[in-house]
Amino acid sequence: MKQIYKSVISILFAAVALLPTTSCNDDLATNSSTDVSGDLLLTKTVGLNMLLRGAYNNLLFGEKTYGAQEAGTYVGIPGFNLYYDITGEDIMATKYYGMSPEDCYQFAPNRTNAAQTADKIWRMMYLIINQANLILDALPTAEGPQDEKTALEGQCKAFRGICYFHLIMNYQQTYAIAKQKRGVILRLSETQPLDLGFSSVEDCYKQIVTDLTEAKSLLANFKRTDKWQVNADVATGYLARVYQVMQNWQGALNEAESLYKKYGTLMTKEEWCGGHCNIEVAEIIWAVVNTNLSNNGDNTEFAYWHNQDPGYGEGMSDGPIYNFLSLFVDQKYVELFDDTDYRGTKCTKTWKEGDPMENHVTNDDEKGVMFWHRTGAQQAWRDKWAYNKFKYYGDDGLGGKGQRNFADYSILRSSEMLLIKAEAEANLGKAEAITSLNALQSARNANLTKAMEKSALLEAIYVERRKELLGEGVTGMYDLVRLQRTLTRHTETIANPAGHFLHGITNLDPTADPNVFIMPSNDYRYFCQIPINEFSNNKAVNEATDQNPSRGK
């Protein structure tokens, strides 16, 4: 982090230079950095706003150093969402494309090793934190309207709280069992020494709560023009998540309930089954807005799920967008849905060698359902379940072979807030918990959960989170770690051909059942080691005492 901090000014100038000079979104456009002096950048709010947009680019699209396709699970918040969910029970990644999605899926040791890819999340989050700190330090003496300075301060504190939340989740065990353990480095100003030690997990969470709470207040009167901007609602949503992880159930309830009241119109069936690329629906709180000039490139959910219509073909460039032919869902996930739930509709047609060609799944077969089999794919994939939740046909709505993928992507929805509300109410012993859970189930035409004792109700809520939120970064590793639950994967067999790929259990632990593999909760295989460069450049930290183990508890 020391090297990152020393070079943050030059990185900020570079970020400004990379911003588009024209865009369909005026708020993302700015003049060339050659027209802006260093004095203007740091002493006037107009310059600080330009630097803030550079931080937005890193948060939403990822630092360009790691923006290459091989690092797709690290490109900003959308990449992290993929990262968290693949390290769970419900998603499978093929070896066809491989790279970071496969590494996450199989818990490859290089993913968390200090000398390999463990620096990706660390570097990206601290880059944004340092950008936010630079702006916050400059604000008191900067020239500009007070309301503009207040909005800048609020967005920067929200950025810092969000980034520290992602850091602490990835570099240490969960709050409930690790409050006194080594956390991450709390850098809150550019005036602090470059050599700075670690704070405890508890202190890190205190700072996250402080930043997000202050951001809510500072942004109370900030009126954003687009859903990619961070406002008080975004800070509220993240604060609900933070309290959820901390098991501060009253805090989680307060934040989630207030946000759900504001965004309580849930997606319709047509909206939910429409590919999740329309961010104008009422329940979406925060989203990535991609344009031809400012985007995630091919690194989005839409380019990883192998769900292009079979009529296009089975190649990476055959469909309307470029597709890495990577992701399917597991049989056990499909079995979670009842017959009336439109999120679980499926086409059960299969095909094997020797069957008539007309028995293949067609476009008409799969367009009306969420789960289906790619019967025209290679043998190893034919029995797996393709999933239509994230499905996009290209910018023109018609498709054009291998067109780049610029679909917008939802980061925060009120369905999640409703489920946090239900979980908090259940933990607080409130009767309203079943009503909150039923509200979502009713909207999805699912069977309603009946009144039951606390542990069974919480289990029903956790299952509903998997059904509703898969691919949105709060299932998989996120829930398994915070809830201290064992990861369980069932492998593919003759009887269960849609089970997990064998490479998906390589680094898990065997059980008495030869087809079931597990990983204990809070095992360090989930968490990244502190990057080796941090120990090389920061004299206040010690690798011998501060480093995470590679596995175990």
**Is the full-model pTM beyond 0.85?**
yes
Amino acid 31: pLDDT: 32
pLDDT band for position 73 (50/70/90)?
confident
pLDDT digits (tens, 9 = 90+) for 213-269: 999 999 999 999 999 999 999 999 999 999 999 999 999 999 999 999 999 999 999
CB 58 within 8 A of CB 128: yes
Q: What is the pLDDT of residue 404?
A: 60
Q: How large is the angle between the packed helices 454-469 and 414-427, nearest 10 degrees? A: 170
Grade residue 498 by pLDDT with cuts at 50, 70 and 90.
very high
Q: What is the pLDDT of residues 141-173, one digit of tens each?
A: 999 999 999 999 999 999 999 999 999 999 999
Amino acid 295: pLDDT: 73
Closest CA to 381 of 310, 312, 487, 468: 310
Quickly tell me which residue has 């968490």 as its tokens. 527
CATH number of 2-277+527-546: 1.25.40.390
**Rounded mean pLDDT of 452-478?**
97
Q: What percent of the chain has pLDDT over 70?
A: 89
Mention every residue, 6+ apart, whose C-beta is less than 8 A from residue 353: none
Mean pLDDT of 22-27: 35
Checking if the pLDDT of 366 tops 80, the result is yes
Query: Do the beta carbons of residue 50 and residue 41 sit within 8 Å?
Result: yes
Average pLDDT over residues 311-319: 91
334, 385 Cβ separation under 8 angstroms: yes
Contact of 75 with 155, CB cutoff 8 Å: no
| CA 316 and chain centroid, separation | 24
Sheet (strand 487-490) strand order: 487-490, 516-519, 509-510
Residue 463 has pLDDT above 90, yes or no: yes
Q: Which amino acid belongs to residue 543?
A: E
Q: What is the pLDDT of residue 65?
A: 54
Q: What is the pLDDT of residues 381-417, one digit of tens each?
A: 999 999 999 998 876 544 456 556 678 999 999 999 9
Residue 203 has pLDDT above 90, yes or no: yes
pLDDT in tens, 108-150: 999 999 998 899 999 999 999 999 999 999 999 999 999 999 9
State the CB neighbour count (10 A cutoff) for residue 268.
14
Q: Which residues pair with 314 in a beta bridge?
A: none
The dihedrals phi and psi of 131, each to the nearest 5 degrees, come to -65, -45
361, 349 in Cβ contact below 8 A? yes
SS3 218: helix
Among 247, 375, 251, 354, CA closest to 306: 375
Asked if residue 1 lies in contact with residue 187, where contact means CB atoms within 8 angstroms, the answer is: yes
Q: What is the pLDDT of residue 157?
A: 98
C-beta of residue 16 within 8 angstroms of C-beta of residue 131: no
Confidence grade of residue 12 (pLDDT, cut at 50, 70, 90)? very low
Q: What is the mean pLDDT of the chain?
A: 90
| 262-291 confidence digits (pLDDT tens) | 999 999 999 999 999 999 999 999 999 887
If one compares 37 and 115, the residue with the highest pLDDT of the two is: 115
Cβ–Cβ < 8 Å for 27, 134: no
Domain ranges of the chain: 2-277+527-546, 301-405
504 Cβ contact partners less than 8 Å away, ≥ 6 residues apart: 92, 93, 105, 106, 489, 491
Residue type at position 344 = G
Tally of CB atoms within 10 A around 38? 12
Residues in the chain: 553
CA–CA dist 238, 236 (Å, integer) = 6
240: which residues sit within 8 A by CB, 6+ positions away? 252, 255, 256, 259, 417, 420
In contact, 371 and 385? CB cutoff 8 Å: yes
Q: Token pair of 192, please?
A: 């602090």
DSSP letters along 32-65, please? -GGGS-HHHHHHBHHHHHHHHHHHHHHHHH--GG
> Tokens 């993302």 appear where?
28
How much is the pLDDT for 530?
97
pLDDT higher than threshold 60 for residue 19: no
Digit-coded pLDDT (tens) for 420-440: 999 999 999 999 999 999 999
Residue 194 pLDDT greater than 80, yes or no = yes
Tell me the mean pLDDT in the region 27-41: 44
> Distances in Å between the alpha carbon of 339 and those of 264, 269, 458?
25, 15, 22
pLDDT at 394: 76
* d(C-alpha 415, C-alpha 445), whole Å: 14
Closest C-alpha among 503, 529, 531, 536 to residue 517: 503
Q: Which DSSP string corresponds to 455-518? A: HHHHHHHHHHHHHHHTTSSSSHHHHHHHTT--EEEEBP-SS-TTSB-GGGSTTSEE-SSTTEEE
pLDDT of residue 39: 62
- H or E segment to which residue 215 belongs: helix 201-218
Q: Could you tell me which residues come within 8 angstroms of residue 202 by beta carbon, excluding any fewer than 6 positions away?
A: 175, 179, 180, 183
CA within 13 Å, CB half, 310: 21
In the DSSP assignment, the letter for residue 321 is B
Given pLDDT bands bounded at 50, 70 and 90, which one contains residue 18? very low
Q: Using a pLDDT cut of 90, give the percent of the chain over it.
A: 79
Asked whether residue 175 carries a pLDDT value surpassing 70, the answer given is yes
* 35 — pLDDT class (breaks 50, 70, 90): very low
Q: Say how far apart CA 304 and CA 294 lie, in whole Å.
A: 20
Copy the structure tokens of residue 266. Answer: 């849930």
